[in-house]
Amino acid sequence: MPYVEEYDKAYIEVTELNKKFPEDMQKSILQYAIQGKLVEQREEEGTAEELYQHIQEEKKRLIEEGKIKKTRALPEIAEKDIPFDIPESWKWVRLGDLLNKLTDGAHRTPKYTASGVPFISVKDISGGEIDFSDTKFISLKEHEELYKRCNPEKGDILLTKVGTTGIAVIIDTEQDFSLFVSVALLKFNTNLIFNKFLLYAIKSPVVQMQARKNTRGVGNKNWVMRDIADTIIPLPPLEEQKRIVNEIEEMQPYTKQLIK
């Protein structure tokens, strides 16, 4: 019987490891990606510092033209806050400094209607994509009013900030919809930042750790907008962002096979 019990214990441990392995593999791939270890660096692609300056110049121009609002200056990144080394051509940045707009959805519960414009909350994107199958609806008039402040468009990123925080999805539809306060909207210049790279960066362990650390409160816990903006991420040059995404997406089918 002692041998049987020992075998049973070992069997349970191995079963648990097998269940976790695919998820751990996916996390490891993302971790390697944002450490600059997944693809080589190429001098001809420039540096993240040059890209960052270009992003700031573009934001300044849009502010001067009245197309976006000026946001608060974000604190410098201290040496003690940097979790690991990155390639010399990369740069540690705060998420808010990459964005043209960071906002969240309606801060009040709207009047729901039997049909109309979908009203998206955390539950509708918790599966990792926008699911319109069980959404609530609001009137076109109310949607148009909400859209003046929070205007989700194709290519933007949605990020859950209340309850289950840190889930990010790219808007891949032309469908009109409005957002509840539990979801943040990230808008940025997709000619300077590859949205798929930013998506994977947010999904990576270094950002997810910050999401968990900064999600506060009791009951429906909240990852507040200030902390989202202050989140630090590593930024590579644009062409390297694209190569990283290609490499991640080549590996993903293999991790999905492990899950099966």
Which residues constitute the domain of residue 191? 42-240
Per the domain annotation, does 93 fall within a domain? yes
Residue bearing the bigger pLDDT, 10 or 203:
203
Per the domain annotation, does 107 fall within a domain? yes
pLDDT tens readout for residues 221-252: 999 999 999 999 999 999 999 999 999 999 88
Closest CA to 166 of 205, 217, 121, 202: 202
Residue 260 scores a pLDDT above 70: no
Per the domain annotation, does 253 fall within a domain? no
Angle value at C-alpha 53, between 48 and 56, nearest 5 degrees: 125
Per the domain annotation, does 61 fall within a domain? yes
Residue 126 scores a pLDDT above 60: yes
**Which residues, including other chains, have CB under 8 Å from residue 115's CB and lie 6 or more apart?**
137
Per the domain annotation, does 201 fall within a domain? yes
Question: What is the domain-level CATH number for residue 60?
Answer: 3.90.220.20
pLDDT tens readout for residues 166-224: 999 999 999 999 999 999 999 999 999 999 999 999 999 999 999 999 999 887 899 99
Place of tokens 């202050």: 230
First-residue to last-residue Cα distance in the chain:
34
Give the mean pLDDT of the chain.
93
Q: Which residues on adjacent β-strands are paired with residue 118?
A: 137
Per the domain annotation, does 7 fall within a domain? no
Q: Which helix (H) or strand (E) holds 235?
A: strand 232-235
pLDDT tens readout for residues 48-64: 999 999 999 999 999 99
Assign 137 a pLDDT band (cuts: 50, 70, 90). very high
**Coil, strand, or helix at residue 42?**
coil
DSSP 183: E
Query: How many domains are there within the chain?
Result: 1
Distances, alpha carbon 168 to alpha carbons 116, 127, 186, 187, 190, in Å: 25, 10, 10, 13, 16
- Spatial separation of the C-alpha atoms in residues 154 and 176, rounded to whole Å: 10
pLDDT given for residue 2 in this prediction: 85
Residue 254 scores a pLDDT above 90: no
Per the domain annotation, does 28 fall within a domain? no
Q: Supply the pTM of this predicted model.
A: 0.89
* Rg of the chain on CA atoms, in Å: 21
Per the domain annotation, does 200 fall within a domain? yes
